[in-house]
Amino acid sequence: MLKDITRTQEVLTCAENLGLILSKESIELISKEDNWKEILEEFSAEGTFLIEPLALEKKLARTKLAQVVPEKVEVVKKSFVALASERTPNFRVVEEYDVTGKSLSSGTVDDFLRLFRSKFELLSSMLKQRHNLAPIPIKELKTRPKNESVDIIGIVNRKWVTKKGHIAYEVEDMEAKCIVLVMERDKEIMKKAERILEDNVVGVKGAKVGDDFIIIKEVYWPDLPIRPAKLLDEEIYSCGISDLHIGSKLCYEKQLQGFFDYLNGKNLSPKQQERVGKIQYLFVNGDNVAGIGIYPGQLDDLVIKDIYAQYERFEDFMLQVPDYIQVFICPGQHDAVRRAEPQPGIDKEFVPRLSKLKNFHFISSPSWVETEGLKNLVYHGPSVHDLISSVSFLDMSKPQDGMVELLKKRDLMPKYGGKNPYVPEKKDYMVIKEEPDIVWFGDMHCNGYTTYRGTTIINTGTWEGQTDFQKKLGHTPTPCAIPIINLKNRNLIEVQFLREAIEREINE
Ligand SMILES: [Fe+2]
């Protein structure tokens, strides 16, 4: 106690000598720091005379950062010759699918109507290509005889369970609406019907039982066509990371440094170095920093409490990526961009050093990037959350299953009005218009891999430990594991950095 009083008096005397004024809160804060004198002298040198608690917290965060991790900021020298450094990368960020700098929505009712109309047109045109579906406009139902087999395409307005346990949907196309019903006794269709959510565009094969009433026999999705995986002649690798949450107390910074050492071939066997040297593309799938004020009481969970300092730290890490690797970084809900989707790329204001580098690309979420002629769909992934909360057979520990659902629906906005907000842009950025070769998601803090109809599906996990919220949900993250994909054969390996770099093959 006496020691505390003496420290406070020392702080006050020093502040007075330097011409500084401190609030009561600032005195308490700074008195806890061993380097209080240097901090006061820094403020004085900067010409600040009134020291507010907020400015002090920022300074303390930056000072701690510099003290704790100076060795991590050091750029690791290239210790081997990487094959990727000797070839010219072939890539393209597909500008027409990137919302960065192009947000035109004014959020009017007309904008929403346009968005849903566009979604219906795009997805119904995919459904019309299905050979086993011969849809008629819903308004023509009246002209068909009762009990005749009919196909329609519609967007789901409403879903409910009847008193007798049947599932009913109100669906509409651009001109008319009708009710479609899944009979409770038809267990197989009941199971498929669980997938149909409000705002989904579906194809239905059924029997007409009334002028605006159909009983479903089969359900069709826009889906991907069945196709073989497109492979390269050359052995080139892509890898992915996400959900770094830099600034969080739970961020595995030491292990993250292990990943950057790995990328630089440090402490690896010649065989490992050979493979690492073939990594030409790195996808970083959002939640790059922990952010500020993302949820109530978040400040207590942060070790870096200033958003600029969080990005500064993020840059310190990313600057270690060898310059022959092309890096594509999308935002997530924790990044300093708008929360609603599609999210624009992170502004250079937050990442001034990386923005100057030619191999760093700040892209939107979602966005499309072509690498060596392969189409990569890059998306942080929050709509998987809404999907998982609506469909019982999906769960957070297998994000790849939710990702397959989105591909079947060809829609990254499968449910409007859930937890995830969307902006009704004049152009539809959320429909999956192309057939992706590789899909990169994050957000679920859980690694997951699978292939679906020629598309490799990758969820890139996290570098943050289990949060209290996840503990309550019973969700166990899989931190510090990165997927690396060989574009020649689509083989995947996962490297785990929790203790040391441990590689394993993925056979999903
Ligand atoms: Fe995250």
Q: How far is CA 499 from the centre of its chain?
A: 26
Structural contact between residues 75 and 320, judged by C-beta atoms closer than 8 angstroms:
yes
Residue 165 Cα to ligand 1 middle (Å): 38
Confidence of residue 85 (pLDDT cuts 50, 70, 90): very high
Residue 443 Cα to ligand 1 middle (Å): 5
If one counts every other C-beta atom within 10 angstroms of the C-beta of residue 458, the result is 32
Residue 462 Cα to ligand 1 middle (Å): 7
Residue closest to 215 by CA, chosen among 266, 141, 317: 141
Residue 279 Cα to ligand 1 middle (Å): 24
Confidence of residue 74 (pLDDT cuts 50, 70, 90): very low
Residue 472 Cα to ligand 1 middle (Å): 16
The token duo for 281 is 């593309």
What are residue 507's phi and psi, to 5 degrees? Answer: -120, 70
- Residue 77 pLDDT exceeds 90: no
Strand segments (E) across 321-454: 326-330, 360-362, 367-371, 374-379, 438-441, 447-452
Residue 336 Cα to ligand 1 middle (Å): 13
Residue 454 Cα to ligand 1 middle (Å): 28
pLDDT at 368: 98
pLDDT digits over 43-63, tens only? 787 777 778 777 777 677 666
pLDDT at 102: 82
Residue 358 Cα to ligand 1 middle (Å): 27
Residue 7 Cα to ligand 1 middle (Å): 40
Structural contact between residues 61 and 309, judged by C-beta atoms closer than 8 angstroms:
yes
What are residue 154's phi and psi, to 5 degrees? Answer: -155, 165
pLDDT digits over 8-40, tens only? 888 888 888 888 888 887 888 888 888 888 888
- Residue 160 pLDDT exceeds 90: yes
- Residue 363 pLDDT exceeds 80: yes
pLDDT at 508: 60
Residue 412 Cα to ligand 1 middle (Å): 18
Residue 459 Cα to ligand 1 middle (Å): 12
130's enclosing H/E stretch is: none
Residue 409 Cα to ligand 1 middle (Å): 24
Average pLDDT estimate for 168-180: 95
- Residue 71 pLDDT exceeds 70: no
Residue 444 Cα to ligand 1 middle (Å): 7
Residue 130 Cα to ligand 1 middle (Å): 37
Residue 464 Cα to ligand 1 middle (Å): 8
Residue 362 Cα to ligand 1 middle (Å): 18
Strand segments (E) across 31-146: 50-51, 91-93
Confidence of residue 76 (pLDDT cuts 50, 70, 90): very low
pLDDT at 354: 98
Burial class of residue 130, CB neighbours in 10 A (0-12, 13-18, 19+): middle
Evaluate if pTM is beyond 0.85.
no
Residue 380 Cα to ligand 1 middle (Å): 9
Tokens 């760093």 belong to 360
Residue 460 Cα to ligand 1 middle (Å): 11
281's enclosing H/E stretch is: strand 279-285
Residue 41 Cα to ligand 1 middle (Å): 38
Residue 379 Cα to ligand 1 middle (Å): 12
Residue closest to 281 by CA, chosen among 231, 214, 236, 232: 236
- Angstrom distances, CA of residue 300 to CA of 67, 295, 507: 20, 11, 40
Which of residues 427 and 431 earns the better pLDDT score? 431
Which of residues 337 and 52 earns the better pLDDT score? 337
Residue 374 Cα to ligand 1 middle (Å): 26
Lowest-pLDDT range of 79-83, 253-257, 310-314, 475-479 = 79-83
How far apart (Å, rounded) are the C-alpha atoms in residues 205 and 223?
16
Residue 334 Cα to ligand 1 middle (Å): 7
Confidence of residue 219 (pLDDT cuts 50, 70, 90): very high
pLDDT digits over 284-321, tens only? 999 999 999 998 888 999 999 999 999 999 999 999 99
Confidence of residue 370 (pLDDT cuts 50, 70, 90): very high
Q: How far is CA 8 from the centre of its chain?
A: 46
The token duo for 475 is 């969700």
